Amino acid sequence: MIHHYKLSEGLIPRYARLLCDTVIPFQEAVLNDRIEGVAPSHAVDNFRNASILLRTGKKPENGDFYGMVFQDSDVAKWIEAAAYSLVIKPDAELEARIDELCDLIAGAQEADGYLNTHFTLNRPDKKFTNLLEGHELYCAGHMMEAAAALYEATGNRKLLDVMQKNADLLYRYFITEGTEGYPGHPEVELALMRLWRASGNEKYRELAEHFVNVRGVDSDFYKKEAAKRDWKVWGNDASNKEYQQSHLPVREQPDAVGHSVRAVYLYTAMADIAAVTREPELTEACMRLFDSITKRRMYITGGIGSMVYGEAFTKDYDLPNDTVYAETCASIGLIFFASKMLKLKRDGRFADIIERAFYNTVLAGIELDGTKFFYVNPLEVIPGVSGVIPTHGHALPKRPGWFGCACCPPNAARLLTSVSNYLWEQEDGILYSNLFAAGRLTLPETEILVETEYPFGDTVRYTVVSGETKLAIHIPAFSEKKYSVSVPGEYRDGYYYLTACAGDVIEVKLDMSPKLNRANSRVAKDSGMGAVTVGPVVYCAEGADNGGDIFSFSIDGCALRLNRETPADLGGFAPATDDLGKIYTVTAGGTRLVQDDPDALYFTDGYREEAAEVKLIPYFMWGNRGINQMRVWIPVK
Ligand code: FUB
Ligand code: ZN
């Protein structure tokens, strides 16, 4: 829907502007190594060096591949984001630079269609010998996604031609020649589905299905592969099958396990394929895996992956708040998965998960000024411990400008620039409004104006400017028991179905009162705690609003109060937030534990409780005022 929805005002449109004006140019500069003081990238240089090598037969001086073995994917994700941004904000110069970059990438493609600068530059004789770690198929997948996005956004086929040639090579290798194997990091499967749709070439769908179907059938594949080769990237343990979801054929996998990004990228492809084939067994597996994540292994913020080791899922209800992983990419992948589940079954609970992951972990992944990013998204931060001691070293208390492993920043960029695709969908003659943001939808058959301050306002108003339409409006689960729609319709599975024609105004009112959430008692780390939400937005306490110390607090669930007069309430914060618009903060009545001897480690007397107000801000805004304490789950009196 990116071509059809013009965003106007409010939080999501504000992010779209930030992406176009700041994030895309900033990331372009990083990838071209023009930003001092951040982790070097060399990602564009890798393509330049590979193309020089292929053209001249010689590597340029210092022309070795640099970076993570999947460094190419940073460029691919940026192209995808930049392509979408051109729809939001046309920019002829940016379009020309993307086109030049496509030429560079085309120059780095080998004659047979092979494309991967790591292998072309540094390991030309090792291609496809380490599918476990090599990320060739992962990088190919991201470049296929970029190609499809660029073509859909602008009609530019340059990269699409390159990636079809690459996909043809993969088809020959894995299907025609029957080479065994499947990608260590799923991604190419979901990308081949996109390439299939963009090109109409059935072979790409066949290859996507092939990779999904063979996964885990020979669950010893990676062990055998490891035995045949004399090189490694990191030395991943080939017998840790769950890490890359190769422990069982996908249809038999009972739980979401292993590396969380790999998992949700795989499940996205499974759900996409199931939505096309309508195969019951695959559909059931998708439902089961979705439930495994969202009913037992997901943070309230929509973060997934609760341990740093293997960047992975652990066990049901194991959701530590401080040593958490909750990689930004994983929540992005969860959004991909949930959006494909919506195609499989029209049920609002999938849209709820999109909202949860989007408004919390994904938005938290970007600093409000658009030039710093989180990879890991903790729910509890203790300065001096978080990001410092070995067990918490990964959970940084502030966003860096870039990373040696930079998967998350450009991933967030492509998600946020394509947000309109998640807001709206059209299927079987029905227009689905999944998420809310103000703007104007223009389709050949109808035009609809949407006015809302959501998620910081309780009203969404749809005005049908022209045409007639069947509309299905998502009623978020948080408001299921208390909502109103101004016109008659029918509620079914999280959507309100109605028919409207030119001149109709449909006003939806949602329950945006602050709520105190409790976690299942099996989540030991949240025992006795509560977390505040307003609509889809999770709140947190930061030291900056609460006299520095938030660990002596408890809150009284009955005394939650919305304070709408912000951002002034946030203490005059912060750069580049002038157009944030209305933001709710929450003030909660509570108590603070005061101890007479502040140095006593344990005590049985000499303490008292004092009444206190706890100020809470949206979780996605945390970490914008320097390093300070932060927590989502707060003891409840
Ligand atoms: O392996 C490629 C990406 O790097 C993964 O998706 C992230 O988790 C990071 O490990
Ligand atoms: Zn990432």
pLDDT at 160 exceeding the cut of 90: yes
Q: Note the pLDDT tens digit of each residue in 144-155.
A: 999 999 999 999
* For the CA of 264, the nearest ligand: 1
23 contacts: CB under 8 Å, gap ≥ 6:
81, 366, 370, 371, 413, 416
SS3 14: helix
SS3 198: helix
SS3 616: strand
pLDDT attached to residue 581: 63
Using only the alpha carbons of the chain, give its radius of gyration.
25
CATH number assigned to the domain with residue range 5-422, chosen from the 4 options 1.20.58, 2.60.40, 1.10.600, 1.50.10: 1.50.10
Centre of ligand 1 from the C-alpha of residue 407, in Å: 6
State the amino acid at position 613 in one-letter form.
Answer: E
Mean pLDDT of the chain, nearest integer:
95
Q: How confident is the model at residue 558 (pLDDT cuts 50, 70, 90)?
A: confident
Centre of ligand 1 from the C-alpha of residue 237, in Å: 16
What atom in ligand 1 is closest to the CA of residue 408? Answer: 7
Q: Which residues of 544-580 are buried (b: 16+ CB within 10 A; e: fewer)?
A: bbbeeebebbbbbbeebeeeeebbebbeebbeebeeb
φ, ψ (nearest 5 deg) of residue 593: -85, 125
**Spatial contact of 266 and 303, defined as CB atoms under 8 Å apart:** no
d(CA 88, CA 464): 22
φ, ψ (nearest 5 deg) of residue 118: -60, -50
d(CA 468, CA 269): 34
pLDDT attached to residue 249: 98
Q: How confident is the model at residue 568 (pLDDT cuts 50, 70, 90)?
A: very low
pLDDT at 566 exceeding the cut of 70: no
End-to-end Cα, the chain, rounded Å: 46
Domain boundaries, the chain: 5-422, 428-510, 515-635
61 contacts: CB under 8 Å, gap ≥ 6:
none
Structure tokens at 635: 């003891």
Dihedral sign (CA 472, 474, 477, 478):
negative
**Which residue, chain included where needed, has tokens 């492509």?**
414
d(CA 232, CA 222): 12
Centre of ligand 2 from the C-alpha of residue 357, in Å: 14
pLDDT attached to residue 122: 97
CA atoms within 13 A on the CB side of 257: 15
pLDDT attached to residue 579: 58
- In the chain, % of residues over pLDDT 70: 97
pLDDT attached to residue 595: 95
Rounded mean pLDDT, 390-408: 97
pLDDT at 463 exceeding the cut of 60: yes
Q: Note the pLDDT tens digit of each residue in 194-252.
A: 999 999 999 999 999 999 999 999 999 999 999 999 999 999 999 999 999 999 999 99
Closest Cα to atom 8 of ligand 1:
261
d(CA 373, CA 377): 10
pLDDT attached to residue 567: 52
Structure tokens at 420: 């309109």
Q: Note the pLDDT tens digit of each residue in 294-322.
A: 999 999 999 999 999 999 999 999 999 99
What is the set of active-site residues? Answer: 311, 407
Helical (H) or strand (E) element with 93: helix 92-107
pLDDT attached to residue 45: 98
Residues with C-beta less than 6 Å from any ligand 1 atom: 70, 185, 261, 311, 327, 329, 405, 407
d(CA 581, CA 73): 34
Q: Smallest Cα–Cα separation from 118: which of 97, 133, 100, 103?
A: 133
Q: Note the pLDDT tens digit of each residue in 25-56.
A: 999 999 999 999 999 999 999 999 999 999 99
What atom in ligand 1 is closest to the CA of residue 327? Answer: 8
Mutational test site, ligand 1, from 69, 70, 268, max ligand atoms within 8 Å of CB: 70
pLDDT at 573 exceeding the cut of 80: no
pLDDT at 280 exceeding the cut of 70: yes
d(CA 514, CA 613): 15
State the amino acid at position 339 in one-letter form.
Answer: S
Q: Smallest Cα–Cα separation from 376: which of 355, 404, 397, 353?
A: 397
pLDDT at 578 exceeding the cut of 90: no
316 contacts: CB under 8 Å, gap ≥ 6:
255, 296, 297, 522
Q: How confident is the model at residue 563 (pLDDT cuts 50, 70, 90)?
A: confident
Query: DSSP code of 60?
Result: P
- In the chain, % of residues over pLDDT 90: 94
* For the CA of 408, the nearest ligand: 2
Q: What are the E-state strand segments in 521-621? A: 529-534, 537-542, 553-563, 585-595, 607-618
Centre of ligand 2 from the C-alpha of residue 141, in Å: 15
Rounded mean pLDDT, 404-433: 97
Q: Smallest Cα–Cα separation from 589: which of 510, 525, 532, 508?
A: 532
Structure tokens at 443: 């389709």
What distances in angstroms separate CA 212 from CA 178, 200, 219, 283, 336, one per listed residue?
15, 20, 13, 13, 16
Counts of helices then strands in the chain (DSSP H, E): 18, 19
Query: DSSP code of 298?
Result: B
Closest Cα to atom 6 of ligand 1:
261
Rounded mean pLDDT, 356-370: 96
To the question of domain 428-510 being in CATH 2.60.420, the answer is yes
* For the CA of 311, the nearest ligand: 1
d(CA 110, CA 24): 29
Helical (H) or strand (E) element with 467: strand 459-474
pLDDT attached to residue 371: 95
Q: How confident is the model at residue 582 (pLDDT cuts 50, 70, 90)?
A: confident
